[in-house]
A and B are shown apart, each in its own frame.
Chain A
Amino acid sequence: MTRLTRVISPDSAEAPLPEVDMSTRLAGAVLPNPVMTASGCAGYGRELDQFFDITKLGAVVTKSIMLQPRAGRPTPRMAETPSGMLNSIGLQGPGIEQFVERDLPWLEQRGARVVVSIAGGAADEYIRLAQRLRHSTAVTAVEVNISCPNVEDRGLVFACDPVASATVVEGVRRNSAPGVPVLAKLSPDVTDIVSIARACVDAGADGLAMINTLLGVVVDTETMRPHLGGVTGGLSGPAIRPVAVRAVWQVHQAMPEIPIVGMGGIRTGADAFEFILAGASAVEVGTSVFNDPSAPIRVSHQLQRVLGDRGFESVSDAVGFAHRPPGGHGE
């Protein structure tokens, strides 16, 4: 019995991990590891640091920060769905000032790399957020959340429109520190994600993060009313993984030189590997954290093992590998 009741140590492995160069490049930023947390699933790092060393990750991606404090949407904010969940948090958060004074210094002192996710209701808000972060030494990259589905008006989801996306991205790029990559986070709820991706890249995005959640509704069959307080919510978890892999696949095929951060239902190292094969240079682990608070570091170790098992000496060798004709490496 004692054999089974050991403490789960995410760092422990049955066998030593294979030698694989896990470093990856996102435009001007080099990360020692391609696995990050996903925005909105890791707070500002403190909670998960109780379960594993967050400095071992590629970066902590913060919950999206807005200019002002925000209370978010009414409860219920969550519905479990098959292999996933619907959330309608509504970007609850402390606002940029408290984040910069309290949360960002903690992450910096802790030694974590930080990708700050920013969100706004208008292009001007994103610009002011970028300006506030511009002189911080703690920011590894900025992820521009133009795709949060939890808004009252679908017309305000910038990522549904190439012109609106470009306006926000251009403003953030122009107002961010030159060496700090700006990543545009895209929504899958569009007819042609490649055209949105291209608009963001043309506007100066250094990379793309995809995908945000898909818009969904759950109707409670007992109350016979929508389950969520906000009625609609964002679907996440393994249920959306093929949609996310498709988005990464399409965009990498169209713009193979643009770094992509892939996310959507990653639960294991094999899942992360799938995104990398489809064209992602890095990945984010989100909803799986709710199931397993150690998931990001576990996925990282599993990914390293999978890469080694498939004969890859580095992450970068595997990026977009699935697009290559058969007969190359590993065949």
Chain B
Amino acid sequence: MTPVQVRGEVLSTRRVGEYHQLTVVAPGVAEQVRPGHFIALTVGGQTSAHLLRRAFSVYRTQDRGVYGGTIDIVFAEHGAGTRWLSQVRQHDSLDVVGPLGKPFALPKEPVTCTMVGGGYGSAPLFTLAEQLRERGCRVDFVLGAATEGRLFGVLEAKRMSQSVAVTTEDGSLGDRGRVTDVLPALLGRTGSDVVYACGPMGMLAAVADLAARFGAHSQCAVEEAMACGIGVCMTCVLPVVGDDGVTRMVRSCVDGPVFRGDRVRWDDVGTVPPDTWGAQVSEGGHR
């Protein structure tokens, strides 16, 4: 996989619940995407005062013949950049860099898999589930959000899985509560071998912890603030334990966004733990 920079074209836009879905023609990018990859888009046009790219996990890709491959992303309006993106129209052009990051690892055996998605974080889990099904895996879904309007892909999940559990914090759909309230029962019932998760950091931390308790391997796609998405800015780092047992501040854009849940030091995200490779021990110097 080699990321490329292409001038993409918006093929269609639509509202999905409280989210926006964009289909972008991005030849050279779409063909290389695997579940868990993300793309980075500029926002605001060529003279924009918003310089930093916005990263979006890929929801779907499709081969559209003469037009080249398309990529679908799903996003919420968080700030000025995503607001601009929510207003693009068909035929507008977008500067696309991708595919980026390390995708989800797929099991070689037909194992039992649980997909856990928080809000629109569920977006990359559907093509993943399809590929797992093709490998003979059992797939169950847990989808959670604050409200019904912030769930993404419930019907789609139902089409491709053994079961779908839904939670909302306000009880507007499914069980009132969070994904971690229903996950233990599901893991206990299915004896899931692998848990795939994508969503906010707090959710991922709790899901990784539950997976470990139930003896399941976990693959978590993190959401960290990025400036470039390609590995040069060093802003999206988090403490992760390597194969050698050493904690390093690793880039979620190139070393992730998918990490083994048991390797991320979730409680230490946002800090540099003292035993990290290269951590400064003395106070008052360069840090």
Q: List B contacts of A229 (CB < 8 A).
A: 270-271
- Establish whether residues B224 and A5, one from each chain, have CB atoms under 8 Å apart when the complex forms: no
Q: List A contacts of B116 (CB < 8 A).
A: none
Q: Evaluate whether A156 and B95 lie within 8 angstroms (CB atoms) in the complex, with A48-B232, A78-B235 already known.
A: no
Which of A196-204, A269-277, A284-292, A323-331 lies on the face that meets chain B?
A: A284-292
Main secondary structure of the interface of A (DSSP, over half): loop
Contact with A along B256-287 (1 / 0, CB 8 A): 00000000000001111000111110011111
- Establish whether residues A95 and B25, one from each chain, have CB atoms under 8 Å apart when the complex forms: no
Q: List A contacts of B52 (CB < 8 A).
A: 78, 80, 85, 290-291
- Establish whether residues A91 and B28, one from each chain, have CB atoms under 8 Å apart when the complex forms: no
Distance in angstroms from B68 CB to nearest chain A CB is 6
Which of B26, B50, B270, B285 makes the CB contact (< 8 A) with A74? B270
Q: List B contacts of A259 (CB < 8 A).
A: none
Distance in angstroms from B240 CB to nearest chain A CB is 12
Residue B249 at the chain A interface, CB threshold 8 Å: yes
- Establish whether residues A78 and B232, one from each chain, have CB atoms under 8 Å apart when the complex forms: no
- Establish whether residues A5 and B285, one from each chain, have CB atoms under 8 Å apart when the complex forms: no
A156 vs B286: C-alpha distance when bound (angstroms): 8
Closest A residue, CB atoms, query B80 = A80
Q: List A contacts of B27 (CB < 8 A).
A: 5, 7
Contact with B along A84-108 (1 / 0, CB 8 A): 1101011111110000000000000
Q: Evaluate whether A289 and B228 lie within 8 angstroms (CB atoms) in the complex, with A92-B234, A152-B287 already known.
A: yes
- Establish whether residues B249 and A71, one from each chain, have CB atoms under 8 Å apart when the complex forms: yes
A91 vs B285: C-alpha distance when bound (angstroms): 12
Which of B9, B50, B278 makes the CB contact (< 8 A) with A4? B9
Which of B67, B225, B227, B278 makes the CB contact (< 8 A) with A290? B227
Residue A121 at the chain B interface, CB threshold 8 Å: yes
Categorize the interface residue count of chain A: 35 or more
Q: Evaluate whether A75 and B9 lie within 8 angstroms (CB atoms) in the complex, with A151-B285, A292-B95 already known.
A: no
Residue B87 at the chain A interface, CB threshold 8 Å: no
Which of B8, B53, B97, B276 makes the CB contact (< 8 A) with A5? B8
Closest A residue, CB atoms, query B8 = A5
Residue A135 at the chain B interface, CB threshold 8 Å: no
Residue of B5, B42, B224, B254 with highest tally of chain A CB at under 10 A: B5
Contact with B along A56-92 (1 / 0, CB 8 A): 0000000100101111111111101011110101111
Q: Evaluate whether A230 and B7 lie within 8 angstroms (CB atoms) in the complex, with A1-B25, A5-B67, A75-B224 already known.
A: no
Closest B residue, CB atoms, query A288 = B51
User: From residue 234 to 266 of chain B, which have CB atoms closer than 8 A to chain A?
Assistant: 234-238, 248-249, 254
- Establish whether residues B7 and A5, one from each chain, have CB atoms under 8 Å apart when the complex forms: yes
A5 vs B269: C-alpha distance when bound (angstroms): 39
Q: Evaluate whether A71 and B278 lie within 8 angstroms (CB atoms) in the complex, with A85-B227, A237-B51 already known.
A: yes
Q: List A contacts of B272 (CB < 8 A).
A: 71-74
- Establish whether residues A291 and B6, one from each chain, have CB atoms under 8 Å apart when the complex forms: no
Distance in angstroms from B205 CB to nearest chain A CB is 15
Q: Evaluate whether A47 and B280 lie within 8 angstroms (CB atoms) in the complex, with A75-B237, A292-B42 already known.
A: no
Residue A221 at the chain B interface, CB threshold 8 Å: no
Which of B231, B278, B285 makes the CB contact (< 8 A) with A156? B285
A7 vs B27: C-alpha distance when bound (angstroms): 8
Q: List B contacts of A40 (CB < 8 A).
A: 234
Q: List A contacts of B93 (CB < 8 A).
A: 4
Residue A33 at the chain B interface, CB threshold 8 Å: no
Q: List A contacts of B230 (CB < 8 A).
A: 47-48, 50-51, 293
- Establish whether residues B287 and A8, one from each chain, have CB atoms under 8 Å apart when the complex forms: no
Q: List B contacts of A294 (CB < 8 A).
A: 5
Contact with B along A205-246 (1 / 0, CB 8 A): 000000000000000000000000110000001100000000
- Establish whether residues A42 and B287, one from each chain, have CB atoms under 8 Å apart when the complex forms: no
Q: Evaluate whether A5 and B25 lie within 8 angstroms (CB atoms) in the complex, with A75-B270, A80-B51, A85-B51 already known.
A: yes
Closest A residue, CB atoms, query B235 = A78
Contact with B along A115-132 (1 / 0, CB 8 A): 000010100000000000
Which of B237, B238, B278 makes the CB contact (< 8 A) with A95? B278
Closest A residue, CB atoms, query B273 = A71
- Establish whether residues A293 and B5, one from each chain, have CB atoms under 8 Å apart when the complex forms: yes
Q: List A contacts of B91 (CB < 8 A).
A: 1, 4
Closest A residue, CB atoms, query B66 = A2
- Establish whether residues A41 and B9, one from each chain, have CB atoms under 8 Å apart when the complex forms: no
Q: List A contacts of B284 (CB < 8 A).
A: 152-153
A77 vs B2: C-alpha distance when bound (angstroms): 27
Distance in angstroms from A220 CB to nearest chain B CB is 12
- Establish whether residues B28 and A77, one from each chain, have CB atoms under 8 Å apart when the complex forms: no
A51 vs B6: C-alpha distance when bound (angstroms): 10
Q: Which residues of B come within 8 Å of A, CB atoms? A: 2-9, 25-28, 42, 49-53, 66-68, 91, 93, 95, 97, 224-225, 227-228, 230-238, 248-249, 254, 269-272, 276-280, 283-287
Given contacts A5-B7, A291-B53, 7 further A-B contacts (CB under 8 A): A7-B5, A43-B231, A63-B234, A80-B52, A92-B234, A121-B285, A153-B285
Q: Which 8 A-B pairs have the closest CB atoms?
A: A69-B278, A78-B235, A71-B278, A290-B228, A77-B235, A70-B278, A47-B231, A83-B49
Q: Which residues of A come within 8 Å of B, CB atoms? A: 1-2, 4-8, 40-43, 47-48, 50-51, 63, 66, 68-78, 80, 82-85, 87, 89-95, 119, 121, 148, 150-153, 156, 229-230, 237-238, 287-294
Q: List 21 A-B contacts (CB under 8 A).
A: A2-B67, A4-B91, A8-B5, A41-B232, A51-B230, A72-B287, A74-B271, A75-B236, A75-B269, A76-B270, A80-B227, A89-B233, A89-B234, A92-B278, A119-B286, A151-B286, A152-B285, A238-B51, A289-B228, A289-B232, A293-B230
